Structure 1
């Protein structure tokens, strides 16, 4: 049950085997063996949140030898699902100047992916591309991200066809700076998603329902890039609660078994030694610090399980079994499911709630610690001024409800 975080390494490393088949049928295998070299490339930085900067002026830099590291092979395995592929190419619909005199490219649809852009600018020109989903009330660019989706390009003076290499964006629009004559013919959006077989379709006489179904399919494309994410823009994180709720719908639309099985492997790898399933998988230091600050407000000094999020380890395998009859997913996840349920039982027995319920009943109620509870009720805004106030008010009954909902699922396995 040890967290995979304990085995992370600070240095980027690579182990590869490349198999090449030529037109004449001859095959060749090239493997990493320590004779490789590395050098400074045109990509200055690239990150899912801080996005990408590329300097096309960087050429013919010095090669450096690599260091051979022995990390072992414990976590080495073949990717259990198909790769991320371009799903659709979407030419720009329009280029317009906003009331704030910004040049904006519109693709007519929110997608997750990247853009292919033809650029021919003078050498040393710095071009910025700021990706965003909606215009503000006046029709201008608006940034709603904690880390703006802003790519930077420095031209070498030659015509280029630019695409980011190691990041992606959620966007409908791009605000373009640094290019004088922006033409829609030079911009194509590329929808990216993990390759999956289509399993479902829907059409009826009501065009509103048809559009709703189309929106659902777009959202599924946009949030299925190796892991099920909450959004392709702000966090790009594998929130377990989102996957728990949407898994059955996803399986009706596409063949999801390889995708979800792969993600559940990540969920299991990030499970704490006490059985806690973390609410985001893959787990990141960003959420560790955030959750530690949160659980302390509820009287805990280490990350705890959260009803409706951590329960994904039971819900998802059981939903997959119900939808497909696949018993392997139950076998693969049973130990993690059991450890999670034992954590709930142990926590309920050891910690007392504040509802003055007699111990004989309270010992069976999971009614302590941090839970999101009814944290997004439109008719009940949190006006208390206390952070997570509505969570505290509602979680004492939401968490026990989830225990009741997972009990029959777990017993059936």
Structure 2
């Protein structure tokens, strides 16, 4: 037996922890079968001092074991070891030697920060320059340790003696900046010299004051600010602290503009010079009037990952284009040769070519945003045999890049696309005999990579917002593909911080499309959306931020993360947020909507349990009618388009804005009781479960009773006796079945769903909210044949259609590949992978035993598939499920990790209980 994968706070050897009782975890592996841990023994030390000795603890738990030793101190390095005993199926005792890991404590107290915030980047109209900061300092002989603590308003990159201090990108990450801001910590002794040294930092707009997120600039603030503290420890026992203060200098430099969305303008002819002193700043929050809390990084870092070489060609217009073969979020490392001084080279990043074979960004650049550029890098050459440049503060969604101003032949390696995303451990993979489905899974994984950039955004091109609707749809697939606990725990705390006083939650968070800052509610913002309002506890949000499905993320997200990892801490963190959200839903349901005064549920006195008010997105992006739209589009594709005058363009934009306003007001007025009431019922049921798990008995009983009552009302008033809910649509039937709202009408509802599917030619017509449930609902109710027929449909609308069309990610809308009117990298519909893992391969979690302590293996073969294989890394180790169909029958192989038990159900109905090990059937 061996012990492996030791983690602290879900991270491997974290460099700065500010949890005073950090969580430990490990895994065990053995070739024996039926292995279960019997006991563990943890010893934690700091240098020679024993901080905690747990003694032998009789337990099979190896996840989230809380430290229970002496109080931990700032900067303290803690080495911890674990010893485990286990027993196999034959009752043999198994042991493994002590396994060791470590972590460092961060700065736990405000007094630990000796540095002062400095202001270096001034606000200005138009594109803003990056700010360069430096400080020269002396290092004495005898240095044994050097640790660097840094954060910023904006993004920062730091250097010591010309060397980057780290490999992390887009620091300090995105949090709700008015409440908390992360700092990073690095060991940098190897970068320092005895004698004179130079500490340099470059700062740029980032989320703090950039245009990303679809907002105007200055969403959080107007200036660039920096806080840094370098601590030098010497052999004589002394510590010297060099913190940001008036001794630092600042200057402009060659980076004339750096915006995450708009891109860079870099003039290689310039240098940072004309240094002048920085100014100190209080950095107080507009929300609280005090400085935002400094917290150590809580999640995995953003890093550079896969690389792709660009293949040059000329599009139909003659433009020079690079094809990197994969749609990613990242940027391009370019090598320019034999340039001229002042030569201007521009890269424009886009996802696709149009139907005539020309480079285009029209599919994502249709927002009327007050921006001057879109995904562009402008590089002004100094004139050299070779010049190398890669953006540090800009990130783009692209597969293709248009190159302008560079005439030289492109050699191998001259243009390299670098994928950049949160560096989460990959945990799941699936493949099967249908290569289109295997590619679909790969595309879904790439959409996750392209959109998980410290927070889960909807797309890496246009909006870049952490939309809650998208996130709750995909969360279980995301946790299958990658280890997401730390990522989600960090992000969800910002939902709590920004929850409105009424209990509603933002449709995005941290909010970069709402305004926290009252000063930002100016004409620029209101001209884009007149419904903007203050975000956070002091405001009531924007129109749309009371939408169910999106707001219900407050319940579904933490509950799903708990189901996947079994750590009750996520429920403790988020319970009050979830409870306040369902109370908001109930309050909205009690409000009367005069449009429905004659409805039977109102006349019968049940209206207070039906959510028919508020703005509702409903079944957003439904596939209904998409075939007809695409057909009409191609019929008129090359119709002549008259040129428009500037006045006509302005008038069209104004008309479009008015149309959007009318749409928003209409949605706010009419509500969507069929969708909203369903989500309210599900959220009440889950909040009741959360309360039960947390020992909140009264809450559990109250919310369970409300969920049961609303379920009964839904079945009575929204489902006809023949099962009809809404003719011509699949989503209402899928939703009612998935959320267990049908009561005694379940079989009738299922019949109606099957009828709708048949009428639509066995293609889906669901939208964002219901698509993840379509195939599982069919398979759960004995209709796997229909599920696979929909899955393997290669025509529009269907998952495999964009795969056939050459897409390498998941499109935002079913017709987007043809219509070129939406993002081509939107992970939501990739949630179909949940069906592939849980039904095709059969790896399913057990809601009664969250975190995979016990799980189900129940493969469901179907369709044309003759082979399927999945692996999934869990908190206990890897599960494998492999099956094959041939002339001899069904062959199945599975692996169960140590310290877990699986209930296997084979397609013939045979059931087995399996301890750890590999089994062949």
Tell me if both proteins adopt one fold, taking TM over 0.5 as the criterion.
yes
Check whether the contact 2:333–2:417 (CA below 8 A) recurs between aligned residues.
Answer: yes
Q: Greater relative contact order (Cα 8 A, min sep 6): structure 1 or 2? A: 1
1:358-399 per-position Cα deviation (integer Å, ceiling 9, x unaligned): 26211122211211113322225799x863568876723211
Give 1:214's aligned residue.
442
Secondary structure of the corresponding residue to residue 209 of structure 1: helix
Shift of 1:149: 1.3
Q: Are the counterparts in 2 of residues 372 and 391 from structure 1 also a CA contact under 8 Å? A: no
Work out whether 1:41 is the aligned partner of 2:253. Answer: yes
State the partner residue of 1:371.
616
State the SS of the aligned residue for 1:16.
strand
Is 1:387 aligned to 2:663, yes or no?
yes
CA distance in 1: counterparts of 2:349 and 2:567, whole angstroms: 40
Three-state SS of the structure 1 residue aligned to 2:347 is: strand
Q: CA deviation at 1:281?
A: 1.2
**What secondary structure is seen at the aligned counterpart in 2 of 1:161?**
strand
Q: Structure 1 residues 133-142 or 343-352, which shifts more?
A: 343-352
Structure number having the greater strand percentage: 2
1:244 matched to 2:244: no
Once the two structures are superposed, the pairs formed by residues 9-408 of structure 1 within 5 Å of their partners are 9-18=221-230, 30-71=242-283, 72-92=290-310, 94-120=311-337, 121-144=339-362, 145=365, 146=367, 148-158=374-384, 159-185=386-412, 186-285=414-513, 293=531, 303=543, 304-352=545-593, 354-356=595-597, 357=599, 358=602, 360-380=605-625, 387=663, 395-408=672-685
Q: Distance in 2 between matches of 1:346 and 1:108?
A: 50
Q: 1-side partners of 2:668 and 2:586: how far apart?
A: 21
Residue 410 of structure 1 corresponds to 687
Does the 8 A contact of 1:374 with 1:394 survive in 2? no
- 1:53 Cα deviation (Å)? 1.0
In 2, the alpha carbon distance for the partners of 1:36 and 1:318 equals: 47
Q: Is the CA contact 1:4–1:270 (under 8 Å) kept in the aligned structure 2?
A: no
Query: Are the structure 2 counterparts of residues 390 and 276 from structure 1 closer, same or farther at C-alpha, using a change threshold of 3 Å?
Result: closer
> Which segment is superposed worse, 148-157 or 250-259?
148-157
| Alpha-carbon distance in structure 2 between the residues aligned to 1:118 and 1:394 | 54
Give the Cα separation in 2 of the matches to 1:213 and 1:247: 15
How big is the shift at 1:286?
A: 5.6
**2:611 and 2:677 in contact (8 A); partners too:** yes
Instruction: Report how many residues are paired.
Output: 402
Is contact 1:292–1:302 with CA below 8 Å preserved after alignment? no
CA contact (8 A) 2:332 2:417 kept: yes
Larger Rg: 2
Greater shift, 100-109 or 157-166, is seen at 157-166
- Partner SS, residue 562 of structure 2: helix
* Deviating more after overlay: 65-74 vs 130-139: 65-74
For residues 332 and 586 of structure 2, what CA distance do their matches in structure 1 show? 49
Shift of 1:292: 5.3
- Tell me the TM-score normalized by structure 1: 0.89
| Partner Cα distance (1:351, 1:167) in 2 | 48
Over 3 Å counting, the alpha-carbon distance change for 1:160 and 1:375 in structure 2 is: same
5+ residue gaps, structure 1: none
Distance in 2 between residues matched to 1:139 and 1:306, nearest whole Å: 40
Show the counterpart of 2:770: none
Q: Distance in 2 between matches of 1:398 and 1:294?
A: 25
Which shows bigger deviation, 11-20 or 364-373?
11-20
> 1: CA distance between counterparts of 2:250 and 2:668?
50
- Residues 323/143 of structure 1: CA separation in 2 closer, same or farther (3 Å cut): same
Q: Deviations over 1:238-257 (max 9, x none)?
A: 01101010000000111101
Mark the CA change 1:210 to 1:68 in structure 2 (over 3 Å): closer, same or farther: same
Cα deviation 1:82-120 (Å, max 9, x = unaligned): 21111111112x211112010001111111101100013
Superposed CA RMSD? 2.9
Q: Tell me how far 1:330 sits from its aligned partner.
A: 0.7
